[in-house]
Amino acid sequence: MAGVPETIGDIRADLGEGPTWEASKRVLHWVDIPSRKLYTLDPGTGIHKQILLNGMIGAAVPRRSGGFVLAMQDGFYTYEDTAGAVKLLDPEEHLPGNRFNDGKCDAAGRFWAGTLSMSGEKGAGSLYCLDTDLRVRKAVDQVSIANGLGWSPDNKVMYFIDSAARQVTAYDYDLARGSLSNRRTVVALPEGNDLPDGMTVDAEGMIWIAHWGGGQVTRWNPREGTLLERITLPVSLVTSCTFGGDRLDELYITSAKADLSDKEREEQPLAGGLFRLKTRTTGLPAYPFGG
């Protein structure tokens, strides 16, 4: 069993999301979607730095050549301190009511990110892949709330969460081509008021799921569809998680306060906070964008 989550820093995000560990710099990056902020935490010093952007940001990944690649409200962008955010392309220019949400890079440096309808329209989103040559393609359509992504330790399986479906979908993954096949459900959540949100995969191939409205992170065996562990948090809107630290044995967890009532915010003063949990397992490295 893991220990008890601790709060890191005093930031209370409206909608914290997308944590990613940059091992070469020993820092954690994460975003606050509606507040248009990209945060970088140095756990060694406890210092948070922030970048204020011109639009909502769903995910940010470090770029191998420097800076970041961003999944913003209206498409993919690059970011460098000198140039700021520069738009690459918007595969959903014809869908102004959509925005990008969660995103992550595969081991080949491709950036996978999905969209959702800001008005809640079902099936209006898609999952896209931005390749290292900066060309984009649609990989999955009819998505309602594109969310968590992850890959098995051998990179032969990709996991994807459409929150509205209340399940984790797996695909056989061809890393050389970045192609998906053999879609199936590996984790089906029981009925409830919570939704599966962001996720990560550990070195044993088990998947960790953040529960929006459930106040917890759960660990599952995707080969058997069985629940292995529950981590309870003092906030209800748990959004995502990733492994970090020098040994990749620290689970960083993001949360939100945006949809809470005034009473719920009083009852959950840590809502929107960033949490850290020392675990007995290790995670997989996060990969930078390769283009």
Within-domain flag for 218? yes
Q: How confident is the model at residue 192 (pLDDT cuts 50, 70, 90)?
A: confident
The CATH number given to whatever domain includes residue 257 is: 2.120.10.30
- Average pLDDT of every residue of the chain: 96
Please tell me the predicted confidence (pLDDT) of residue 291: 60
- Binding-site residues for substrate, please? 99, 101
Q: What is the pLDDT of residues 67-120, one digit of tens each?
A: 999 999 999 999 999 999 999 999 999 999 999 999 999 999 999 999 999 999
Distance of CA 204 to the CA centre of its chain: 20
Please tell me the predicted confidence (pLDDT) of residue 2: 62
Cβ–Cβ < 8 Å for 172, 153? no
Please tell me the predicted confidence (pLDDT) of residue 203: 98
The percentage of residues in the chain with a pLDDT greater than 70, rounded to a whole number, is 99
Please tell me the predicted confidence (pLDDT) of residue 20: 98
φ, ψ of residue 265 in degrees (nearest 5): -65, -35
Q: What is the pLDDT of residues 147-177, one digit of tens each?
A: 999 999 999 999 999 999 999 999 999 999 9
Within-domain flag for 291? no
Within-domain flag for 289? no
Of 21, 25, 28, 24, nearest to 11 by C-alpha is 28
User: What's the rounded mean pLDDT across residues 138-145?
Assistant: 98
Buried b (16+ CB within 10 A) or exposed e, 118-139: eeeeeebbbbbbbbeeeebeeb
User: What's the rounded mean pLDDT across residues 230-235?
Assistant: 97
Q: Order of strands, edge to edge, in the sheet holding 47-52?
A: 16-22, 27-32, 37-42, 47-52
User: What's the rounded mean pLDDT across residues 38-44?
Assistant: 96
Instruction: Note the pTM of the prediction, 2 decimals.
Output: 0.97
The percentage of residues in the chain with a pLDDT greater than 90, rounded to a whole number, is 97
Name the domain count of the chain.
1
Within-domain flag for 288? no
Tokens of 118: 């800001």
- Binding-site residues for a divalent metal cation, please? 17, 147, 197
Please tell me the predicted confidence (pLDDT) of residue 97: 97
Cβ–Cβ < 8 Å for 173, 129? no
Catalytic residues: 197
What is the residue type of 65?
S
What is the residue type of 57?
I
Within-domain flag for 150? yes
- What is the DSSP track for the chain? -----EEESS---SBEEEEEEETTTTEEEEEETTTTEEEEEETTTTEEEEEE-SS-EEEEEEBTTSSEEEEETTEEEEEETTTEEEEEE-TTTT-TTEEEEEEEE-TTS-EEEEEEETT--TT-EEEEEE-TTS-EEEEEEEESBEEEEEE-TTS-EEEEEEGGGTEEEEEEEETTTTEEEEEEEEEEPPSSS-EEEEEEEBTTS-EEEEEETTTEEEEEETTTTEEEEEEE-S-SBEEEEEEESTTS-EEEEEEB-TT--HHHHHH-TTTT-EEEEE-SS-BPPP--B--
Beta-ladder partners of 17: 31
Please tell me the predicted confidence (pLDDT) of residue 4: 83
- Binding-site residues, please? 17, 99, 101, 147, 197
Residue of 97 and 2 predicted with greater confidence: 97
Within-domain flag for 78? yes
Cβ–Cβ < 8 Å for 188, 225? yes
Within-domain flag for 216? yes
Distances (CA, A) of 248 to 26, 27, 91, 242, 289: 10, 12, 34, 9, 20
Within-domain flag for 287? no
Residue of 70 and 4 predicted with greater confidence: 70
Of 22, 56, 20, nearest to 241 by C-alpha is 20
Residue 98 belongs to domain spanning: 6-278
Q: How confident is the model at residue 141 (pLDDT cuts 50, 70, 90)?
A: very high
Sorted by sequence, the CB contacts under 8 Å of residue 84 that are 6+ apart come out as: none
